[in-house]
Amino acid sequence: MLNAGPSWGSSRRRAVVLVAALLASGVTARLGWWQLDRADQKLALQARIEARGSLPPLPQAQLPRDAEAAQAQHYRPVVLRGRWLADRTVALDNRQMNARQGFYIVTPLLLGPGDAVLVQRGWMPRDFNDRTRLAPLPDQPGEVLVAGRMAPPPAKLLALAGAEAGPIRQNLDVVAFAQEIGVALRPWSVQQSDATRPAPGDNTTAAPQPLADDRLLRQWPAVAVDVGKHQGYAFQWFALCALVLGLTAWFQFLRPRFHPSSSSSPRA
């Protein structure tokens, strides 16, 4: 007498495996398309950054005062006129430039009464004989012109709690630092591109003033948009999707056709 139980059970298992494989392939394919979409977003961001970099400097009167407006202007050229708050200069430790360890030198630039912005003035090498020794910066007590590009505040590195004090620090929080110095800071920064020039007076025919030699490097790294990372992830998800579909097609359809005896074991 024939027993239909094992055959029905085998068909049910095959159906469950097939449904699971289709779900897995659908999820992995969706993740692959999501990564490609992220790559497209990053490419659009890179295009916006390059377009902003080619624009004329943003007038000082139009500088944004809130983070949302600043984000729309990041990497736009600026030429700012103000006064250094030199005694509030901070050296951010463990910062690299050209694969060398050193400091990012950050000084608030006073734009007007109670209104300042952080300027990332450049990179200074570390003195490995005395970590706390910093090369002096040129004294510029009057108004200066600072050329650069708008940027987010300096990136934060991993640091111990309570270590953000003194002239050498690991990180600099804009809100906390504004409270510390008693001057409101714009929610963005400037990556300086040239040495500082003294601001001319009202006489526009005056001879140009020389640049201050501060010996700082300003080879700021390009903005990383990680397009290749997203494309690589997309390739991995699509490859996994193809693997699931290929294995399912082989074990569910092709192998039983070429090896029918392997799809069921003989029973007494």
Question: Which residues lie below 8 Å from residue 227, measured CB to CB, with a gap of 6+?
Answer: 39, 42, 43, 46
Cβ–Cβ under 8 Å, residues 147 and 192: yes
3-state secondary structure 16-68: HHHHHHHHHHHHHHHHHHHHHHHHHHHHHHHHHHHHHHCCCCECHHHCCCCHH
157-194 pLDDT, tens per residue?
Answer: 876 655 567 899 999 999 999 999 999 999 999 999 98
Q: What is the pLDDT of residue 177?
A: 95
> Within 13 Å, how many C-alpha atoms sit on residue 27's CB side?
7
For the entire predicted model, the pTM comes to: 0.71
Report CA torsion sign: 41, 43, 45, 48: negative
- Segment 43-77, tens digit of pLDDT: 887 787 788 888 999 999 999 999 999 988 999 99
The reported pLDDT for the residue numbered 261 is 60
Whether the per-residue pLDDT at 214 is higher than 70: the answer is yes
- Residue 25 pLDDT exceeds 80: yes
- With vertex at residue 71, the alpha carbon angle to CA 174 and CA 193, rounded to the nearest 5 degrees, is 75
Query: Mean of the pLDDT values across residues 121-132?
Result: 88
